Structure 1
Amino acid sequence: MDIVATKTGMEVLTDRGRIQAKHVIVAAGYESERFLPKRVAKLHSSFALITEPVKAFAGWSQRCLVWESARPYLYVRTTSDNRVLVGGEDIPFRDSAHRDARVPAKARTLIDKVRRLFPRIEMEPAYAWAGTFGETKDGLAYIGAHPGGDARVHYALGYGGNGITFGAIAAEILTAVILKKPHRYRDTFAFDR
Structure 2
Amino acid sequence: MISSRLYLQSRGIIVRSPPLLTLRHTTASRFLSASSMAAKAIPVIVCGRREAIGEAVAAGLQPEYELVHFVKTPEAGVADLPLVLAGRVPTSTAPSSVGTGNVARGAAAVILGGGYGDEDYAVMRKAVDAAALKRRTVWLRNNLSVAMPPPGPEYGKAVVVRVKDLLARLGGEGRLDGEDGGAYWY
TM-score range, shorter chain: under 0.3
The structure in which a higher percent of residues are helix is 2
Length-normalised TM-score, structure 2:
0.22
The structure in which a higher percent of residues are strand is 1
Structure with larger RCO (C-alpha < 8 A, sep 6+)? 1
Highest CA radius of gyration, 1 or 2?
Answer: 2
